[in-house]
Structure formats: structure tokens, C-alpha cells
Structure 1
């Protein structure tokens, strides 16, 4: 019995080993090679399989490596899932459906307002209400006539919930005063990190009013640092944006500043992995606002950034663990 098998799949010829084809117990190939399924052969003795010959390349590569590796721009995932189902390759089918799910567009009808987002975004709060929508629990949830999931909540406030899941930052208008309503929505959707940020912003607003001077503002040196799905986020509760920029003065990737309610500044960034073995000339502001200089290694992780801040005499007030993706640290000078 030859160890190499010829396959004629939709007119395309493939050759591979019997070991590769039978590596998944119970698959179509086990059945065909063991006589469980009758099969015709062409003139060269190749097994005739009336399926998509081009897609079969990815089926065979998966059997060889046990990894789903697809070319950039591949857009036939639905067809590949169908072929995996036909060949009774359940593990491959699950992987393809998982990839499909990440890019799947989800429609939400929240209090009459329509939103569209991705499955990946909704899963960023894995224990929350929205993650349940894209799990098996969502199969029995009500939908509107267009197939959007119907959620009987405040449609106007939901934009801030959804934008937080997208950005990792709570971006609110400067004149915002609906904190209690937003707290209620965050509690319903099961996103505790939003509740913590709302609470901090409320406390900052009260402190700001108490300490307001002639110009109506008293800077408070207090900020949050946390990691959110591959990005670092800092909330700086000070009206002095330059203080935040000076503190995080090292080179970053995809750095973005946003101003939120009460003049709170949000910095979103990723570290530059190409610089992790290099030294860093770090300038940081002291309590008097003067710049200090220190040579450090470029930070590789969240803990490295925390160590830098502690060196600069910033103290952790508390840390709150929100699960695998996020621990929020509150600092003050």
C-alpha cells in the first residue's frame, strides 16, 4: 500500500501522504481510505472528490500543520467553513468560524437607536451583557425586523458605552452632568471599569469645584493608568495637558490625545517593541513643575511604566483588577 495518495479535487491534482490525510480521526479522508465511503478514481488513480479545488489547498495545509494559516486578504471564510464541514474536520471548522466571528458585524437597536459594531468589540467586556449577545445565549434574544438585537436601554447614553469598548477611554462632553445615569447603564451592561472611571470623574469634579481659585480651576495631579486590549490608557485629571505629555515623554506608537469632561485628558498609546533593548532619556515633572532627567531602559510592560512613575515620586493610591485584560492603577503626586 503506497504511503502517497493522489487526489483529484474539482479537477485540481494534489498529492500528500496517507499519514497526513488520516491524521484527524473520523474525518472524510479516514472513511474514504478505509473503504467506509465508496469512491471513484480517475485514469491516474487519483481519488475523485467533487469539491472546490482551490479552497482544498487550505484544507490540506491545515491537515499538514494543524494550523489555520491563510493568505493576506483571504475573503472566502464562509466557503472554507463549508468545506471543512463537508470533510468532517470539526476543529478546522471551529477555527474558521472563530475568525469569521471576530470580523462579524453586529447590529444593536438600543432604545430605538441603531448601532453597528464587531463581535470583537462586544467581547472586550467578557463577563458583560454585550458579550452574552454574541455567545450561544444570544440565540434567544429578541431582534427587530432588520435582525438587530433589541436592547431596552437608553440609546443616547449607549454611544459612550460602545465607544469605551472600542477605544478603552471614556470620552464625555465637557459639559457632561449625567453621571448617575451613566453609572446605571454601566452597571446594567456589566462593565465595572466604566463605573470606576465615572466615579473618579465625579470625585474630581467635586474636588475641582471645592478648590477653584480666581480662574475657576485648581489643577489636581491625579491620574489612572491601565492596559486595555493591547493599548495603554492614562486619564489625567488635571487641566494642564502639558503635564501629562511631559510625564509620558518617551517614544510611543499610535499615540493619541483626547480631552474629556472637566478638561480631563486621555492619552492612548502602545509601546514600540523595536526600542525595548535601548536606553531612554526620560524627562519628568516634579512636584514643583520642574523637569527632572533620568536614563532608564525603554519600558517593556505595564510594570515597567509603573516603576518609572514610582521613581518620579508618583504613588499608587489603589489598584483595581478587572480581569485578564485590565488592572487600573490610580496615582497621585
Structure 2
């Protein structure tokens, strides 16, 4: 059995090992490599690499998860911090049948979105700034004092 396994994911080439891919025997990667290798269901590119028409950025994170599964703190550093990327990783982890990674991404996504202010909160903050004179688009706000200043002229 070849030790190195190559993947063409969305046009980007990845290499991994048998040991990494076999970490989760319920994952789709394991199934493709060990149960369907050479079958008509497996797509290969011109160089014989597994072709997967998915997001390459998320796939890199998935490989890091499989590589670093015993060092939980290390692989979590590889998770994206942006909600959009986390949402995509959640879908990709679901597709590749990696529920633990999906759950971690969902938990981090919930944490990120809970920390972000809602649109209503942002509008409230903007109105507060406007009424307190903190946001005036470069114009000076007129106050009663302005009227008194003009009376002396």
C-alpha cells in the first residue's frame, strides 16, 4: 500500500498519508480510499490523484484536523476565525463525515456570532454617537449655545 496519497481538491494539490486518512474510519476520505479505490464512483485526475470538487481551503483545515487529532489545542488553532469561513467549514466537515470537526466549527461559529453586535445594536450605537455629537460627518451640530454666540456678532 502506498504511503502517500494525493488529492486534487478544486484544482489545488494536497498530499497526505495512509495514517492520516485512516484516523476516522467513518469519514468519506477513508471510504473513498479504502473501500472504493479504483471503482467507477471514484474520480481521478489525469495524474491518478483523487479529484474532489470541493473547497480547497477547507480541505487543508480538514487534513490538519486529521493530522493533529491527538493534539486538540494545536488543530483548533487551524480553525478559521471568520464566520463565513467557519460556516463553509461546517458544511465541508459534514460532507466529509467528520462530526467532531463539524461540532467544533459550529461551536466556534456560535461563539463568533454571539460576540458580534446585531444590526439593531449597531444602529443604536450610531444614533447614540450622533445625538452625543460624536458622529457628524464633518459638520458642526447646532446647539442653543451656537445661537447665543451669533447674537454677539
Query: For this structure pair, what is the TM-score category when the shorter chain's length is used for normalisation?
Result: 0.5 to 0.7
* From 93, 102, 107, the counterpart of 1:98: 107
Q: Matches of 1:22 and 1:71 in 2, distance apart?
A: 21
Q: Matches of 1:89 and 1:98 in 2, distance apart?
A: 14
Q: Matches of 2:50 and 2:16 in 1, distance apart?
A: 12
Name the larger-Rg structure: 1
1:33 CA displacement: 1.0
The one of the two structures with greater contact order (alpha-carbon pairs below 8 A, sep at least 6) is 2
TM-score normalised by structure 2 residue count:
0.63
Q: Matches of 2:101 and 2:82 in 1, distance apart?
A: 16
Counterpart of 1:47 in structure 2 is 50
Higher helix proportion (structure 1 or 2): 2
Correspondence 1:58 to 2:61:
yes
Distance of aligned partners of 1:96 and 1:71 in 2 relative to their CA distance in 1, 3 Å threshold: closer
Between Structure 1 and Structure 2, how many residues are aligned?
108
Alignment of 1:1-333 (within 5 A): 1-36=1-36, 38-66=41-69, 67-70=75-78, 73-75=81-83, 76-105=85-114
TM-score normalised by structure 1 residue count:
0.30
Q: Matches of 1:73 and 1:87 in 2, distance apart?
A: 21
For structure 2, list consecutive stretches of 5 or more residues without a partner in the other structure: 70-74, 122-153
1:283-302 deviations in whole A, cap 9, x for unaligned? xxxxxxxxxxxxxxxxxxxx
- Aligned-CA RMSD value: 2.2
1:73 CA displacement: 4.8
Distance of aligned partners of 1:81 and 1:71 in 2 relative to their CA distance in 1, 3 Å threshold: closer
Distance of aligned partners of 1:30 and 1:14 in 2 relative to their CA distance in 1, 3 Å threshold: same
1:89 CA displacement: 0.3
Kept in 1: contact 2:25–2:31 (CA 8 A): no
1:29 CA displacement: 1.0
